[in-house]
């Protein structure tokens, strides 16, 4: 049982470290296939203490997969910049993770 607990603790520590990587350590996905147009979503009414993060297209290594929008816990003094794709100077498409900005 003690070994199982240590393994769970190690897994939790690794998953927490992966989530809290600094911005400089983020990797980008550059692909040649443009994302499809955004899907239409019905945005629910306001929810106190949360902001709506719209849906977006995520690349799974083979094709674009739609990820539904959802509520994100509000951070006072900041606004949510949603995930999006940008065209790079070399004509490829780069996925930019969503983030909080001042």
DSSP per-residue letters across 54-85 = --EEEE-SSSEEEE--EEEE--TT-EEE--EE
| CB-count exposure of residue 57 (10 Å: 0-12, 13-18, 19+) | buried
pLDDT at 9 over 90: no
pTM: 0.69
pLDDT in tens, 25-37: 556 779 999 999 9
| Under 8 Å between Cβ of 43 and 52 | yes
Domain residue extents for the chain: 29-101
């Amino acid at each position: 049982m003690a070994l199982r607990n240590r393994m769970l603790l190690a897994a939790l520590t690794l998953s927490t470290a992966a989530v809290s990587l600094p911005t400089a350590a983020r990797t980008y996905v550059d692909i040649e296939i443009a994302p499809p147009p955004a899907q239409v979503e019905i945005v629910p009414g306001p929810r106190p203490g949360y902001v709506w993060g719209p849906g977006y297209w995520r690349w799974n290594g083979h094709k674009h997969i739609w990820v539904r929008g959802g509520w994100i816990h509000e951070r006072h003094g900041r606004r949510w910049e949603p995930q999006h794709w940008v065209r790079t100077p070399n004509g490829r498409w780069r996925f930019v993770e969503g983030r909080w900005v001042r």
